[in-house]
Structure 1
Amino acid sequence: MKKRFNAIITAFILLASVAAQAQASTSKDWFRHAIITIQEQLTRAAATYTPGQNPRSVNPNGTVRLAPKTDWTTGFFPGSLWYGYELTGNKDLATAAQRFTLALDSIRYVTKTHDLGFMLYCSYGNAWRITKDKEYLPVLKEGAEHLFERFNPKTGVIRSWDFGPWKYPVIIDNMMNLEYLYWAGAQFNKQQYTNAANTHALTTMKNHYRKDYSSYHVVDYDPATGKVLSKGTHQGLTDESAWARGQAWGLYGYIMCYNNSANPQFLQQAQHIAQFIMTHPRMPKNKIPVWDFDVHNALDPDGRAPRDASAAAVIACGLLDLSTRVKDGKKYADYAEEILKNLSSDDFLAKPGENHFFILRHSVGAFLYNSEVDTPLDYADYYYLEALKKYAALNKIKLPLQ
């Protein structure tokens, strides 16, 4: 009787284990499906496009908009190939990533933009991180020097643009490029780079944010005195609205600054921004925001305003990082997981071979200028891949996925 009882218990445990494994497998099927799609799309894209003319988005007439070497988005496609290699283990993607990265060598001479982080750190930075091949370091070193040269001690911030009606414009997007300076400061023993990144983040926290922790897009400074001249937008709905990707840039930026500085002010700021985003009454149920949180009512009577998958992907990255830094991190991880599951659904994830080989659909570049509206975007793909990599690490999913 005892042997029979033990046999029953053993069988029960075995069945429970099999059931648990099946449930776990089912719960991660969306992740596996995403990886299969990613490998197919990136492989075809690498074979289709020419290094130095990288796919950026899709034009209204159905043709692909290409990013030349000096375009602010040009580093995202090589970076996506590097992430694709890490996620899949496909060595052909690593070879393509190297080819598309080295084609951007001349960006080391660019001085007229703050976007050197996007352009070089997303491409060459990932190349160095993965391969530790010293051939990538000279370009990274020179680019970091040019980025640092745009820092003005009087304003306490790095100048963003060299165009437009402003005297010294700084956009919230600039928070993302600080990661390049933090890395370069440590890699090349340049404490001034680290100091500039910290100062920029503190100044932005003071001048870009409203009481509810939503962010202005553009703050203009007097370069001689550091006085704030104006606060407004260039891509959001209005000067006082909450442009969705701008909120995402800030969230990602401040948790990244905390990771590099251990300054508790940055961690607290990231939590405040996350709270604004996660509790916003106009965040859709699927957690993929409309291009501006203030698009509603008469502006969007049918609830059909374009969603911005790029903002969602950046938010997911920020929340996953934040989840590892606080005691109540599970709420951030769960929210990010929901975003990723929805981005990996048929509503947003491209079918293999379609979408001009971009991975995600339905992003918004600059709605008010009718530029890149409801289209794939290279940076949506990049941050989606980055978020999947962070998700795998957090959930102990072994990569490359077999």
Structure 2
Amino acid sequence: MWFLYEATGNEKWKTEADKFSRFLTPLSVNKANDHDLGFQILNSFGNGFRLTGNNEYKQIILKTADTLATLFNPKVGTIQSWPYNKMGGHNTIIDNMMNLELLFWASKNGGSHKLYEIAVRHAETTMQNHFRSDFTSYHVIIYNPETGKKIKGQTAQGYSDKSMWARGQAWGIYGFTMVYRETKDPKFLDFAHKIARVYLDKLPADLIPYWDFNAPNIPNEPKDASAAAIVASALLELSTFTENPTLKKEYETKAVLMLKELSRNYLSKEANSALLLHSTGHKPAGSEIDCSIVYADYYYLEALLRLKEL
């Protein structure tokens, strides 16, 4: 809704965006139940503050960043993702990269510098432990909470512990691109290029991934429009940091082709509360298969706005 307000200037969307953002206010004062606070608060109140300058929004964002930081384990070097289901240790999922932007934002807008340090440490630890030698991502890493030692890599929403879950790789590409933007440390940019390369090289012809690149019944497997939208948005930003003209052109061209394919064949044509169809949430649990999912719409709109700006 904030993106629709930004795109159209229509006050209707601003009113609705404010109303629905405010439902999330308790997250800024309650104990952290999971890592998703960055998604929930920066994508709502963060966009609201960016577009309106409302100081009330800013205070909510800053409080929530402090709440997210309570899940950080300095012995491990990451923010715990699911405190309610430890899975045999301190768990961190690749999705958590997306929540670091909240900490970066807060550290620059009145919050503690420690928030910046936590975000950088989390990104460094994830870069070291969350990826296989071929730069494909695990979904979950389990650490010993006392020693910080990595115990194992596994999946929750992917096909197997050894497979490349499409949205997980997408979170990584977007996340490390964002971390480079916030730190300007070239190691994060280099890593974003490497994990983008393996994703792009394994895509099917229409550039919309199956829910897992190693799912056993491709091409008779569900697609994941959400992963495509996330990567399209990430590639548009990554292209702006890319000096190699051939690579820059590839990122821009493929991002546009992804958005064209989503717009042609994945947009809902009927009355629907969502924009995009055909995302896959959690196939192993039989949940959200061939569905509309809110974050698919969010990153689709973000990508369109980034494309417009470019």
Q: Normalising TM by the smaller chain, what interval?
A: over 0.9
Quote the offset at 1:189 in angstroms.
4.1
SS at match of 1:357: coil
| 8 Å CA contact retained: 2:33, 2:84 | no
Quote the offset at 1:304 in angstroms.
2.3
Shifted more, 101-110 versus 383-392: the winner is: 101-110
| 8 Å CA contact retained: 2:62, 2:111 | no
What whole-Å deviation, never above 9, does each CA across 1:187-230 have from its counterpart, x for those lacking one? 11411000110010000000001111100010011111100111
The residue aligned with 1:161 is 82
- Counterparts of 1:131 and 1:89, CA distance in 2: 12
The residue aligned with 1:332 is 251
Quote the offset at 1:166 in angstroms.
2.6
Structure with larger RCO (C-alpha < 8 A, sep 6+): 1
Identity of aligned residues (%): 43
Which segments of 5 or more consecutive residues in structure 2 lack a partner in the other structure?
none
Quote the offset at 1:88 in angstroms.
1.9
- Residue type of the alignment partner of 2:190: Q
The residue aligned with 2:29 is 109
Correspondence 1:45-64 to 2 at 5 A: none
Q: Which of residues 205, 221, 229 in structure 1 aligns to 2:151? A: 229
The residue aligned with 2:96 is 174
Correspondence 1:18-33 to 2 at 5 A: none
Q: Which of residues 61, 77, 88 in structure 2 aligns to 1:140? A: 61
Runs of 4+ in structure 1 displaced over 4 angstroms? none
SS at match of 2:153: strand
Quote the offset at 1:327 in angstroms.
1.6
Residue 240 of structure 2 corresponds to residue 320 of structure 1 = no
Correspondence 1:255-274 to 2 at 5 A: 255-274=177-196
| 8 Å CA contact retained: 2:81, 2:91 | yes
TM-score norm. by structure 2 comes to 0.96
Quote the offset at 1:124 in angstroms.
0.7
TM-score norm. by structure 1 comes to 0.75
- Residue type of the alignment partner of 2:249: K
The residue aligned with 1:341 is 260
Shifted more, 257-266 versus 108-117: the winner is: 108-117
SS at match of 2:289: strand
- Counterparts of 2:27 and 2:20, CA distance in 1: 13
| 8 Å CA contact retained: 2:207, 2:258 | yes
Which segments of 5 or more consecutive residues in structure 1 lack a partner in the other structure?
1-80, 395-402
What whole-Å deviation, never above 9, does each CA across 1:65-99 have from its counterpart, x for those lacking one? xxxxxxxxxxxxxxxx0001111222211111111
Residue 198 of structure 2 corresponds to residue 276 of structure 1 = yes
Shifted more, 329-338 versus 253-262: the winner is: 329-338
SS at match of 2:177: helix
Aligned-pair Cα RMSD in Å: 1.0
What whole-Å deviation, never above 9, does each CA across 1:349-373 have from its counterpart, x for those lacking one? 112x52x220000000000111000
Residue 107 of structure 2 corresponds to residue 185 of structure 1 = yes
Residue 128 of structure 2 corresponds to residue 206 of structure 1 = yes
What whole-Å deviation, never above 9, does each CA across 1:209-257 have from its counterpart, x for those lacking one? 1111100010011111100111110111000000000000000000000
Residue 142 of structure 2 corresponds to residue 220 of structure 1 = yes
Quote the offset at 1:103 in angstroms.
2.1
- Counterparts of 1:87 and 1:294, CA distance in 2: 37
Quote the offset at 1:381 in angstroms.
0.3
The residue aligned with 1:126 is 47
- Residue type of the alignment partner of 2:268: A
- Residue type of the alignment partner of 1:100: F
- Counterparts of 1:160 and 1:360, CA distance in 2: 27
Quote the offset at 1:109 in angstroms.
2.3
| 8 Å CA contact retained: 2:101, 2:178 | yes
- Counterparts of 1:239 and 1:317, CA distance in 2: 27
Quote the offset at 1:152 in angstroms.
1.2
- Counterparts of 1:268 and 1:344, CA distance in 2: 30
- Counterparts of 2:20 and 2:229, CA distance in 1: 23
SS at match of 1:220: strand
Residue 225 of structure 2 corresponds to residue 309 of structure 1 = yes
Residue 301 of structure 2 corresponds to residue 385 of structure 1 = yes
What whole-Å deviation, never above 9, does each CA across 1:97-123 have from its counterpart, x for those lacking one? 111111221111231211100111111
Correspondence 1:28-47 to 2 at 5 A: none
Specify the structure having the higher radius of gyration (Cα): 1
- Counterparts of 1:163 and 1:317, CA distance in 2: 31
Q: Which of residues 97, 101, 106 in structure 1 aligns to 2:17? A: 97
